[in-house]
Amino acid sequence: MTRSLIRELSEKVGERVTVRGWVQTVRDQKRMQFVIVRDETGLAQAVLGKDDPPGELNDAVSALTAESAVTVTGTVVADERVKLGGLELKLDALQVDSPAEPELPVAADSALDKRIDWRYMDLRRPDRRLIFEVQTTAEHAMREFWRGDGFIELHTPKFMGSASESGAELFKVEYFDREAYLAQSPQFYKQMAMAAGFGRVFEVGPVFRANPSFTSRHDTEFTSVDVEISWIDSHEDVMAFEEAWLAHVLTVVKQTHGPAIEATFDTELVVPAVPFPRVTLEDSKTMLREAGHDAPGAGHDLDPPSERALSALIREQHGHEFTFVTDYPTTVRPFYHMRHVEDPTLTKSFDLLWRGIELTTGAQREHRYEQLMAQARDKKVDVAPIQYYLNFFRFGAPPHGGFGFGLTRLLMQMLGQENVREVTFLYRGPHRLEP
């Protein structure tokens, strides 16, 4: 018999159907037995009268344990007594495909770390499933937008022969008789695609950061969304792309899952107005101080508390959840960020904050070879190991820029989750390599 999804049962009243899923609850009474079965589309009640003495099927129901994988067959009946959708299955056959041990190691209210130990059990909960449905929708909407705009999808190597920026946060791995590094970013390669004349590229893929970070928004491996665009005039073009792209993604996610997100996570998804507010780093510090907050001194990036305070201020003043912070000093940006002509101590760069968390770093890149070399020297970067990268700019590179975007941070904010581990299928951190 073909498998019916629980969502479809209301159209199958009177039919004999087979439902396959997990036992959510067994209520085994004197005269009646009820089994609540869960599949990926919902919950359904199966009901069975108890014979005296109990029949084989009755005994099989009595022996069921929660979370066992089962196949149940019966006739769909409408019954207004059933609070679960007014429907039930008159059970006539039961197959235990795989029994669950009686005592479960985790519950919905277990500590996150324990839930990750038993992640597959945790992910059986419909609210956890919703996270990944939203992720699927969000990524699809991103691709929709990119394709409509002529972007090419990239798959860059994750093994690298040298550090792409500073060596500090790289994982070193054995690579035959030498050492390799795991890519911390596709940065250099997407710039190579610019030199290759690809025009506009994106990549959704894993990046690796060897930071011993113990926060709710860091992991050692995460999915990065990277975009790079040629023939721009300034970083403003990159921001203009990003805000339009993000507004599209949030529109689609809200259309598709808005009510479910609100019901499940008590979070309202607000589709942002375009353009997003922009503020230079220096002005943001002034704003913070005028509002009575501390702000880091010149030459320093905002710290997390000031990022949160700034987002709150922008929300008050502009009614907007997103903020582009622009024009970071060269001291806190890599050598390849383009510098302003009027003030070479500032870069043509930006961060994007959403509700106080950093989603993106982006910039116009320096595409002029001599200038790039000068900036590398200025930042005391050893150019020998990255000469292959510098070569990209020797034979005609277009002006270009782009951004890196943390997919998990986006999901975390969209769903009102407090930790990237909640929205990562399997979290990887300094002490977490399993499961």
Are the CB atoms for 35 and 74 separated by under 8 Å?
no
User: What residues have CB less than 8 Å from 414, skipping those under 6 apart?
Assistant: 134, 138, 250, 253, 261, 267, 269
- Cα separation, 333 vs 271, in Å, equals 30
- Cα separation, 435 vs 431, in Å, equals 12
Could you say whether residue 185 binds RNA (CB under 7 A)? yes
Could you say whether residue 304 binds RNA (CB under 7 A)? yes
Query: Which one of 98-106, 152-160, 275-283, 394-402 is the stretch in contact with RNA (CB under 7 A)?
Result: 98-106
- Cα separation, 342 vs 357, in Å, equals 30
Site string for RNA, 407-426 (x = CB under 7 A): -xx--------xxxx-----
- Cα separation, 283 vs 111, in Å, equals 41
| Residue selected from 38, 119, 190, 217 as contacting RNA according to rule CB under 7 A | 217
**Of the two residues 96 and 258, which places its CB atom closer to RNA in the complex?**
96
| Residue selected from 181, 188, 202, 222 as contacting RNA according to rule CB under 7 A | 222
Cβ-based neighbour number of residue 142 at 10 Å: 23
Tell me 329's DSSP state. Answer: B
Tell me 276's DSSP state. Answer: P
- Cα separation, 389 vs 190, in Å, equals 11
Could you say whether residue 358 binds RNA (CB under 7 A)? yes
Are the CB atoms for 211 and 169 separated by under 8 Å?
yes
Burial class (CB within 10 angstroms; exposed 0-12, middle 13-18, buried 19+) of 59? exposed
- Closest CA relative to residue 142, chosen from 202, 100, 66, 102: 202
| Residue selected from 119, 218, 278, 337 as contacting RNA according to rule CB under 7 A | 218
Query: Which one of 53-61, 105-113, 285-293, 381-389 is the stretch in contact with RNA (CB under 7 A)?
Result: 105-113
Could you say whether residue 215 binds RNA (CB under 7 A)? yes
Could you say whether residue 107 binds RNA (CB under 7 A)? yes
Site for RNA in 367-386 (CB under 7 A): none
Could you say whether residue 112 binds RNA (CB under 7 A)? yes
| Residue selected from 275, 305, 398, 416 as contacting RNA according to rule CB under 7 A | 305
To RNA, the closest distance from the beta carbon of 396 in angstroms equals 27
**Of the two residues 277 and 422, which places its CB atom closer to RNA in the complex?**
422
| Residue selected from 169, 236, 262, 282 as contacting RNA according to rule CB under 7 A | 169
Could you say whether residue 156 binds RNA (CB under 7 A)? no
Query: Which one of 107-115, 195-203, 261-269, 374-382 is the stretch in contact with RNA (CB under 7 A)?
Result: 107-115
- Closest CA relative to residue 261, chosen from 419, 411, 84: 411
Site for RNA in 25-54 (CB under 7 A): 25, 27-32, 34, 45, 47
Could you say whether residue 162 binds RNA (CB under 7 A)? no
Query: Which one of 188-196, 273-281, 304-312, 319-327 is the stretch in contact with RNA (CB under 7 A)?
Result: 304-312
Burial class (CB within 10 angstroms; exposed 0-12, middle 13-18, buried 19+) of 209? buried
Could you say whether residue 176 binds RNA (CB under 7 A)? no
Determine the residue type at 57.
L
Six token digits for residue 193: 């695609």
The crossing angle, in degrees rounded to 10, of helices 281-290 and 304-318 is 80
Distance of CA 198 to the CA centre of its chain: 26
| Residue selected from 157, 197, 206, 212 as contacting RNA according to rule CB under 7 A | 212
Residue 305 phi/psi, 5-degree rounding, is -60, -40
Site size for RNA (CB under 7 A): 70
Tell me 242's DSSP state. Answer: H
**Of the two residues 30 and 178, which places its CB atom closer to RNA in the complex?**
30
| Residue selected from 5, 57, 66, 130 as contacting RNA according to rule CB under 7 A | 66
Could you say whether residue 139 binds RNA (CB under 7 A)? no
User: What residues have CB less than 8 Å from 198, skipping those under 6 apart?
Assistant: 152, 154, 230
| Residue selected from 65, 75, 280, 417 as contacting RNA according to rule CB under 7 A | 65
* Sign, Cα dihedral of 170, 174, 175, 179: positive
**Of the two residues 45 and 191, which places its CB atom closer to RNA in the complex?**
45
Residues lying near RNA in the complex (CB under 7 A): 25, 27-32, 34, 45, 47, 65-66, 79, 81-84, 88, 102-107, 109-114, 116, 169, 185, 209, 211-220, 222, 224, 301, 303-305, 307, 332, 351-352, 358-361, 404-406, 408-409, 418-421, 429, 431-432
